[in-house]
Amino acid sequence: MTRFAPAQPDLFFSASPPPSPEEPRKDPLAELREMLALVQGATELPWADAAAAMPHELRALYLAKLCGDEGQALVQAIFQETERIFSTAEQAAMHHALATHQRQS
């Protein structure tokens, strides 16, 4: 009696090749430039909240690794703009909360 089924010649053998890491859907530099254009000059978050922004930030980091120095410069600009938007949104929320509290007092 054999230990392996005929269709499985080895316990760790896989009939299909392992999945390859996600390849860029388009030119990585072009995608980074689009990401920068999305946040550059924006007055409010293009995402629902900080948690929703995280996949975009991770994608930007992944693309930057593919693009060398130019990609690193673009991702730095993207993160600076994103931080500016978060800061503006946080300040607006604080002003709103303070105004609401003052009206209730």
Band of pLDDT at residue 56, cut at 50, 70 and 90: very high
pLDDT tens digits for range 83-94: 999 898 888 888
pTM: 0.68
Task: Say if residue 10 is exposed, middle or buried (CB neighbours under 10 Å; 0-12, 13-18, 19+).
Answer: exposed
Contact present, 77 and 36 (Cβ < 8 Å)? yes
Per-residue pLDDT tens digits for 4-50: 555 655 666 555 555 556 665 789 999 999 999 999 989 888 888 88
Residue 1 has pLDDT above 90, yes or no: no
- Residue 66 vs residue 7, higher pLDDT: 66
